[in-house]
Structure 1
Amino acid sequence: MHLYAREHFNVEFDEYEIQNITIQLICKRSTKGLTFIKDLNIINLQNEILDKIKEKTLITFNDEHFNKVFPLYLKYTLIRQKYGEKIRTPLYEDIQYDYPLAYYLAQIVSQTIKKHTKTGISRSEITNFTILFNNTINNKKYSQKKVLLINCMSESIKTFINHFVEKELYDQLVITKSIHYYEIEEQDLNQYDLIISTASIHRQLPIPVISINYIMTQDDIIRIKSYLSYLFNDEQMLYYFHPNFYQTHVSVKTLKGLATSFYQSIKTVYRLNDSKKNDIMNKNICSIHTFENQIGLLRLSRPLNSNNIISIIILEEPMTIENQTFKIAILFSCAGNQNVMYNTLFSTLKNISKNKEDLDNLIFHPSYTEFLSILLKNK
């Protein structure tokens, strides 16, 4: 650039200007997608951050694209920090409210970098990491489930179902074998994740069964997708929750006190009107279902905002509301139609309530990750 300026404009850059332009080029180049060159310091920093994320949330990242991009983000964030250069994005004003869990993970990145460099990263850098985490979470691809098809009709129907599944559910299911109903006894069902059947099955089997019509329809596809979300979302359940929405050793005795505790924890992440606290106390908006007089699931028919929120409070002493007693209070506030999400949580809590050891462990104020582990175990 110096030579070009000298030849075309007869302009000389001094050493300071050359160095400054060099820094600008390095930092501007850092915003482009490049190939990561192995750097032990960056690898160690990456591992420390991911270990901290797992320690605090149980979330892990095994996505190939993420593992290529994340060290690049770290490397060039440190380069910009070193030279005092900043990227600028207007998204940081709302990003923490739009993607609160991903923002929480980005804050872990910032805290870890500050631990080593003594300087925190800018809001725009945090925004970049938030978007990366959010995209990775939402774009997570789950392995195809192996399906045993039970077909009581003709070979042509089997072919039709195979083609329909390949077209509509190619990234979720693969039919590995097709049999007649009477052949079930001969199969090692441990080889499969689930059964799809055109015949009604009235017996207990070790894997889930989804019944479909003889001629598969879009309604069957919708039902299968719903079941898949419910049956195989152990990993997804981690993203239902947020560490800020988890409280233990809370001493309240009234619904008003409980609503205030919920409201205060949710306010640490979202901007809420004070009127939203009243919704939690309104029996026309908030319904309660209890499990074994220990867990109370409070569901709001009118969500607190457009985000999915599940907030947990473990009380010091049990409380009773409308003749229903519980020590663990879980507030469910989700926008739109989130029946699968609610049903998954409901079923998990029901399973826990039947397991005395796990129920006792929940009651005695476990850590956030211990709480999640118990939920995932009982999914």
Structure 2
Amino acid sequence: MRDAEFVRFIRQTKPINPADAAARLHVSARTIRTYVHRANRAMEGFARITLSRESGYAIVEQDSQRIEAWLSDALRSVETSPQTPQERIAYLLNDLLMRTDWITMDSLCDMLYISRSTLTGDLKGVERELNRFDLSLLKRPHRGIRVEGEEMARRVCLANIAVESMSGGDLVHGHLLAVVSRCVENVAHAQRFQIVTTGYQSLLVHIAIALLRIKEGCYVPMASEHLERLRPAREYAVAQMIAEGIEREIGIELPQEEIGYMAIHLAGKQTLLDSQGDAQGIVISDDVWGVVSRMLECIWAAFRFDFRYDLELRMNLARHIVPLAVRLRYSMRLRNPMLPDIRIRYALAFAMAQEASHVLGAAYGSEPSDDEIGYIALAFALALERQKTEVSKKSILMVCASGAGSARLLEFRCRREFADYIDTIATCDVLNLDAVDFSGIDYVFTTVPIERPLPVPVREVSYFLDGQDIVDLRDLLRGDAVNEALHPFFKKSLFFPHMSTGTKEEALDYLIDRVAEREPVHEDFRNLVWRRERLVATSFGNGVAMPHPLEPAAETTIVCIGLLDEPVAWDDSGCDVRAIFLVAFAPDVDDSLKSFLSVFTDILSSARDIDLLVQHQSWKTFADIVASAFASARAPAPTERR
């Protein structure tokens, strides 16, 4: 309890004996004596709390005006001072990061009206936050504590506290932010320099904090060679103009190193969403191109999706990584307001981005946050959507009774009806089937029965392709046959409803054991799944998790499903999961796997489907959901040509 609050309590209840005071305040009699001693020290010279054997505690006021003024100021301070541990941690961070001298624990206790034990607990939270920015808290007997670390790290930490609004503090006041905002907007508009909306407020806070630190005589050191590398950049020229505007407005002159610091922040305020419009200002180095290559190799190894030759995805990722590398190197944070929706709507793309993020961590010394992973996931989501709309063209073998004329007629009709789906058409008669090389053939269309098995699917059709033939063949060429696509990946023997495990470890180990018992998987399957899980938890935030091995570990791609009666916490943030889809990928990949994964992730991101599955926990419900999802995924048939 604060001194002023205790004094107000005594004034309102006087006289009151020690036992009653302790009971009313839910503390011990010894604590009451401590409150009295502390209050008397604070009111020395104008008031004093006394204890009478007959009546108890009362206040003797020597100067009524002074005690009223003191109570008014002290109670106002109590109302505005931080109350919760989170608020106190933010207050302590602001105070310690802005000061360069030592401060004692007792002084901090007096400032916050808290006990030494409470302060000790709060300082543990302070140290955890400082460690994120390579800062430390020094403690010395008889001197106190202070923050140790580089000036840039101090500023980034201060800016993150302000942007995240960890407290209602007023480190960066409105007037200074308004001045900075005006200077930035004027230059950005005049130079047509784009700053992503989600990073704009963060940029203003970083600049404002830099100005506050400069006022305190604290500058960012920057090696001359580093500064020289920044000078030719467009961001440096823009930063210089902003600095000139600030000097005109408030009279603070920024040295070249501080202009370089501002240029770094300008370079980091870009994302995949806005880099398209200013692509001419981005230079993609061999290093960045190499990072993209390693990311795509990582996706191929883990998911068997081959984006390695997707130029558009490569360019999207490379353009995004150029400013992202700046943010990672300097621990700059960028919020992603779409993150919750991205995690749920683009579950597979987010899982891919998580996998690829480790390449970025190794390259730039800092693991991307979930906000950053969300932006990367958008690039993979775009690539996956393109694969849905880009038709994989097939090679067809036409077989007729006599070859020649009838086969050519059927070929002509197929080309007219299915031009968007067919790459090549070869023809032959039944007698010459043995001489055909099927390595480049996807399907056989035949007008006559073929008595022996062939290594590719065979479809019997009429000579003139009636209406139903056209519908069926179009579905076949699109690869949308539900039963053919569904059967290899989902098995009733790997469907486990009503699991009663109490922890993530129990649930996942149970599913791993069942897969290992019933399917041919890698002998190190369990270790590969848990290694992947320890890198990044595979929950999507909608009650679903999709754990999978670090690399392909099965002969055929399969999904093992576990449905829990009660949710289990899946990650450090306490994300609850009730539906677990353990996926084991095979090394080989084909169009059916791509079609399956596309529809599978639609199911994972559907709140309705997951709720229905968890509610009923039956194989029939799941089969109906999958069949419906595959049917919905069918693209509308192209207009028939006449």
Q: Does the CA contact (< 8 Å) of 2:446 and 2:461 recur in 1?
A: yes
Give the equivalent residue in structure 2 for 1:64: 311
| CA distances 1:325-363 after superposition (whole Å, capped 9, x unpaired) | xxxxxxxxx37253799xxxxxxxxxxxxxxxxxxxxxx
Q: C-alpha distance in 2, partners of 1:144/1:98?
A: 28
Give the equivalent residue in structure 1 for 2:427: 178
Question: How many residues align structurally?
Answer: 283
1:290-369 correspondence to structure 2 within 5 Å: 300=622, 303=625, 334=626, 336-338=628-630
Letter in 2 for 1:131: L
1:55-204 correspondence to structure 2 within 5 Å: 55-62=301-308, 63-82=310-329, 87-140=334-387, 141=390, 143-151=392-400, 153=406, 155-166=408-419, 170=420, 172-204=421-453
Q: Unaligned 5+ residue runs, structure 1?
A: 252-257, 288-298, 304-333, 342-379
* CA deviation after TM superposition for structure 1 residue 61, in Å: 1.7
Q: Does the CA contact (< 8 Å) of 2:284 and 2:319 recur in 1?
A: no
| CA distances 1:129-170 after superposition (whole Å, capped 9, x unpaired) | 11211222232356532211235637555423222121xxx2
Change (3 A) 1:113 1:216: same
Give the equivalent residue in structure 2 for 1:49: 295
Give the equivalent residue in structure 2 for 1:208: 457
Q: Does the CA contact (< 8 Å) of 1:196 and 1:210 recur in 2?
A: yes
Q: C-alpha distance in 2, partners of 1:67/1:74?
A: 10
Q: Does the CA contact (< 8 Å) of 2:243 and 2:259 recur in 1?
A: no
Change (3 A) 1:112 1:85: same
Change (3 A) 1:79 1:4: closer
Q: C-alpha distance in 2, partners of 1:236/1:77?
A: 39
Q: C-alpha distance in 2, partners of 1:138/1:227?
A: 20
Q: C-alpha distance in 2, partners of 1:5/1:37?
A: 23
* One of 1, 8, 15 as aligned partner of 2:254: 15
* Structure whose residues are more often helix by fraction: 2
SS at match of 1:105: helix
Q: C-alpha distance in 2, partners of 1:160/1:21?
A: 65
Give the equivalent residue in structure 2 for 1:32: 275
* One of 286, 300, 325 as aligned partner of 2:619: 286
Q: Does the CA contact (< 8 Å) of 1:263 and 1:277 recur in 2?
A: no
CA RMSD after TM alignment: 4.8
Q: C-alpha distance in 2, partners of 1:11/1:179?
A: 84
Deviates further, 186-195 or 128-137 = 186-195
Q: Unaligned 5+ residue runs, structure 2?
A: 1-186, 188-237, 491-506, 516-561, 569-576, 582-603, 634-642
Q: C-alpha distance in 2, partners of 1:119/1:41?
A: 16
Change (3 A) 1:113 1:9: closer
Q: Does the CA contact (< 8 Å) of 2:613 and 2:622 recur in 1?
A: no
SS at match of 2:337: coil
Q: C-alpha distance in 2, partners of 1:236/1:266?
A: 23
SS at match of 2:456: coil
Q: C-alpha distance in 2, partners of 1:111/1:205?
A: 45
| CA distances 1:236-266 after superposition (whole Å, capped 9, x unpaired) | 99999xxx98931269xxxxxx642897565
Q: C-alpha distance in 1, partners of 2:263/2:415?
A: 59
1:238-317 correspondence to structure 2 within 5 Å: 247-249=511-513, 259-260=563-564, 266-267=578-579, 276-280=613-617, 285-287=618-620, 300=622, 303=625
Q: Does the CA contact (< 8 Å) of 1:194 and 1:207 recur in 2?
A: yes
Q: C-alpha distance in 2, partners of 1:59/1:136?
A: 11
Q: Does the CA contact (< 8 Å) of 1:99 and 1:134 recur in 2?
A: yes
* CA deviation after TM superposition for structure 1 residue 127, in Å: 1.5
Q: C-alpha distance in 2, partners of 1:130/1:198?
A: 47
Q: C-alpha distance in 1, partners of 2:260/2:436?
A: 71
Q: Does the CA contact (< 8 Å) of 1:59 and 1:238 recur in 2?
A: no
Asked which structure has the greater RCO (Cα within 8 Å, sep 6+), the reply is 1
SS at match of 2:445: strand
Q: C-alpha distance in 2, partners of 1:165/1:206?
A: 23
